[in-house]
Structure 1
Amino acid sequence: MQLRAQQIELNPNNKQSTLMSQHAGYARVAFNFALSSFKAGLDKDEWRSHVDIKREFNAVKRDKFDWCDALSQYASKNAIHNFGDAITRWKSGQNKFPIYKNRSGKCSYQADNGLGTVEVYKKRIKLPKIGWVRMREELRYTGEISKVVVSKRNNRWFVSITVRNLESNNYNHQPSLFDDKQPMGIDVGINTLATCSNGDTYENPRPLKRYERKLARANRALSRKVKGSQNWHKAKKRLGGVHYRISNIREDAHHQATTKIVRKASAIGIETLNISGLLKNRSLAKALSDSALSRFLTMLKYKAERRGIPITEADRFFASSKTCSHCGHKQKHLTLSDRVYNCLKCGFSCDRDLNAAINLCPA
């Protein structure tokens, strides 16, 4: 089953914004109830599934949370289901044990489209118990809406719409602007976001580095305010605005680069990066976080998959930067400061990143 998702900014009125905040609060309350119930069960050597907890929550919600009657049941149902997924990941060792959600944390909730309760018409979306809300843009896909996730970031509301059973008029991708598509190796890095084996390079905007001073000033301004005061909330909003700007610059650069790459490539070769291991390097950790290379590669993979472009991942220990792309000689003593690769065996010379990209190019 093909699934497509698109995140769109909402433009709600004050009443709709209040209702969405209440639904997010309802989801938070349900999640915290599930966590408390599960912990109580563990104390009694009982393993309570999310189905058991959901049944328990439904039995008491009208007495303990009478304000929830005017809200959609999907908010609480999906919050408890998400708690069940969190416990499953904890049990398998993927995640830590869940913690309680607080009001200052992530503000979001999920709604299913069970009985056609979610509808989209041009630049409007109908949400359960809220009604028609204006969107900043139209949904790109037509098909059956599976679910929506409503979230708030930096005082802005967004909706992520998941569509399944795509109709035939949906293009899986935009047509390529290039007739001479070719296999392409891609080397990612900090200074240059991506270097391709055909010679194309995509610069890394490094937005965190660019906004570092502005971010520091916003943090200092927040630290001077009395926590919980009106000025504290204003300063926190300004700080969130800087973070939001940084995130948008990075995301835009990644989208533009990955889209251009997949339009030109018939096959793609990339390196396997141990991001968590690299982040332990204190001298590189900040720059790596700013580059968000893991996010870039994830974006590249799903766009390539949509276009049916095969991706080959090189072995983690393959020395793509140290191996000569001309004769295959491996140069052991090559440091990060050496930006030009000079082969000691055949005399081949080229940019270090380009040499790595050529080595990663699939045959």
Structure 2
Amino acid sequence: MPARYRYRIEPDAARQAMPARTFGCARVVFNDAIRCRTDAHQAGESISPAEVQGRVITAAKATEARAWLGEVASVAPVQSVRDAHRAYRNFFDSIAKRRKGRKVGHPEFKSRKDTRQSFRLTRNGFSLRPNGRLYVAKVGDVKVRWSRDLPSEPGSVTIILEPDGHHYASFVVEVAPTPLPPVEREAGLDLGITRLATVATSDGRRQDVANPKHLAGKLRKLARLEREKARRAKGGKNRARTGRKVAVQHGKVTRARRDYQHKQALNLIRDNQAVHVEDLNTAGMVRNRRLARAIHDAGWARFVRLLEEKAERHGRTVAKVSRWLPSSKTCSACGHLMAEMPLKVRTWTCPSCGTAHDRDHNAALNILAAGRAERLNACGAHVSPSVRVAMGDEAGTTPDAA
């Protein structure tokens, strides 16, 4: 099953020009492929992916305007054409409702001003040297920070330039499934801002997952850097230098948040056979300007996605309950439903049975009960969540992830 392993790479000064040129070529070919498909559609012409590739790469190389496409590894532009084709396929599948999740819009052009650039190479475009270096076609040997060994021979690699100026190599490899021994315990999760998650388990325990608020800890420094950037002249080197400093701070926040969520998600998956969470509409919730920054800082969507990926890999189950479940204002002891429950109310007492509730823990108990009831309705009583085999996940380990 496929998995992705990511490492920091350090091309020397003499080898940084060719990756930058390859980023540009991959971006131009992607845009040309979208433009070619759009022009063909407007002309009423049916065009295949092979014909698109012939027009935007093979024929384009023979012209003076695109002759420089032959200066980079030929694998990268070909993969860009395939990326454009996949983007169109996702768009059409979303329109036809064959694709789950959020709606996918029409493919958009990439810009040279995008802060993140990348290109992908297949097996004939790279190789691993015995000395531990990565050979990239038309670039040469590149130093890699090997934070862990690759489990198998990689099938492809994506070279990524992050906004902070660091380069990364993301390898796609095949890994063996690692199912965990079955356990009896299940858990219900209530996601929040004060605490990242409040966990109620089937054996009556409570666990609080703290929210480190990584972005909030950097806001003062980021505000100072943004003011410094605003004073610089647009298009100047000093403005670009300050922009790089801002990107470095955001990169630290991202890596710290990702590392923390990986660890907490793995702990929950190890300890519970099934984890039940609410199917939250995070994209809609961040439209609240008062809570948007805090929700983004908590990273609810990423945390749930990591739970699902690790459950697939380790043979566990992650189930979602309806977002319309009144989990916070329903008494978990007697089922009494309160008429309203403002966000400022963190503890309350049930007027029916007199039970004192912590708002988040009560919601977690209701989510656990609703998730288990849904499973019983679907599978019958005394049916435990099945052991599942993983499809792999992003092993995003970098040496400076802390």
In the superposition, the TM-score normalised over structure 1's length comes to 0.89
Partners in 1 of 2:337 and 2:150 — Cα distance? 48
Tell me what 2:218 maps to: 211
Separation of aligned partners in 2, 1:54 and 1:155 = 31
In structure 2, the gaps of 5 or more residues are 96-102, 373-402
Q: Secondary structure at the match of 1:126?
A: strand
Query: 2:193 corresponds to which residue?
Result: 190
Partner of 2:383: none
CA offsets per residue over residues 83-123 of structure 1, 9 Å max, x none? 1222233334433333332222131101122x484337685
Q: Provide structure 1 residue ranges, at least 5 long, that are not aligned to the other structure.
A: none
Pair 180,331 (structure 1): closer, same or farther in 2 beyond 3 Å? same
SS of 1:80's partner is helix
1:101 aligned residue: 110
Deviations 1:141-176 (A, max 9, x none): 423422211111111001111113x3xxx5637x78
Q: 1:158 aligns with which of 142, 165, 168?
A: 168
Instruction: Report how far residue 82 of structure 1 moved.
Output: 1.1
Distance 2:251 2:184 in 1: 36
Q: Distance in 2 between matches of 1:156 and 1:357?
A: 40
**DSSP 3-state at the match of 1:207:** coil
Match of 1:271 among 265, 271, 278: 278
Q: Are residues 71 and 149 of structure 1, via their aligned partners in 2, closer, same or farther at CA, if it must alter by over 3 Å?
A: same
Moved more, 190-199 or 54-63: 54-63
In 2, distance between residues paired with 1:96 and 1:61?
A: 30
Alignment of 1:218-237 (within 5 A): 218-237=225-244
User: Superposition RMSD on alpha carbons, in Å?
Assistant: 2.4
Structure 1 contact 34–53 (Cα < 8 Å) conserved: yes
Q: 2:142 aligns with which of 112, 133, 148?
A: 133
SS at 1:201 equivalent: strand
The residue that corresponds to 1:242 in the other structure is 249
Amino acid at match of 2:106: F
Question: SS of the counterpart of 1:211?
Answer: helix
What is the alpha-carbon distance in structure 2 between the residues aligned to residue 184 and residue 191 of structure 1? 20
Letter in 1 for 2:194: N
- Tell me: CA distance 1:80–1:147, structure 2 relative to 1, closer, same or farther (3 Å): same
The corresponding residue for 1:88 is 89
**Structure 2 residue identity aligned to 1:68:** L
1:208 and 1:24 mapped to 2: Cα distance? 29
Change (3 A) 1:348 1:124: farther
Tell me the equivalent position of 1:148.
157
Cα offset for 1:138? 4.4
Letter in 2 for 1:109: F
Cα 1:56–1:281 change in 2 (3 A) is same
CA shift for structure 1 position 46? 2.4
Change (3 A) 1:226 1:32: same
Q: 1:231 to 1:182 in 2, by over 3 A?
A: same
TM-score by length of 2: 0.81
SS of 1:290's equivalent in the other structure is helix
- Deviation of residue 276 (structure 1)? 1.9
Secondary structure of the residue aligned to 1:200 is strand
- Residues 29-59 of structure 1: CA deviation (Å, up to 9, x unaligned): 1112213323332342324343221011212
* Counterpart contact for 1:27–1:79, Cα < 8 Å: yes
In structure 2, the partner of 1:251 is: 258
Query: Is the counterpart of residue 172 in structure 1 residue 178 in structure 2?
Result: yes
Give 1:210 shift.
2.2
Say if 2:186 and 2:275, in contact at 8 Å, map to a contact too. yes
Q: Are the aligned partners of 2:125 and 2:137 in contact in 1 as well (CA < 8 Å)?
A: no
Shift of 1:231: 0.8
Counterpart residue type for residue 148 of structure 1 = V
The 1:14/1:62 distance shift into structure 2, 3 A limit, reads farther
The answer to whether the 8 A contact 1:4-1:141 is kept is no
- Tell me the equivalent position of 1:262: 269
Quick check: 2:328–2:362 contact (8 Å CA) kept in 1?
yes
Contact 1:123 1:136 in 2 (8 A): no
Moved more, 20-29 or 249-258: 249-258
AA aligned opposite 2:331: C
Number of positions where the alignment pairs a residue of Structure 1 with one of Structure 2: 354
Provide the C-alpha distance between the structure 1 equivalents of 2:131 and 2:332, rounded to a whole number of angstroms: 51
Asked if the contact 1:123–1:139 (Cα under 8 Å) also holds between the matched residues in 2, the reply is no
Would you say the 8 A contact 1:122–1:139 is kept in 2?
Answer: no
Aligned ranges 1:314-333 → 2 under 5 Å:
314-333=321-340
1:181: how far off? 6.2
Instruction: Please say if residues 62 and 68 of structure 1, whose CA atoms lie closer than 8 Å, have aligned partners that are also in contact.
Output: no
Change (3 A) 1:315 1:83: same
- Of 283, 287, 293, 1:286 maps to 293
* Residues 1:228 and 1:314: Cα distance change in structure 2 (over 3 Å): same
How big is each residue's C-alpha offset from its partner over 1:227-247, in whole Å with a ceiling of 9 and x where there is no partner? Answer: 222112111111111221221
Partner Cα separation in structure 2 for residue 66 and residue 236 of structure 1 = 33
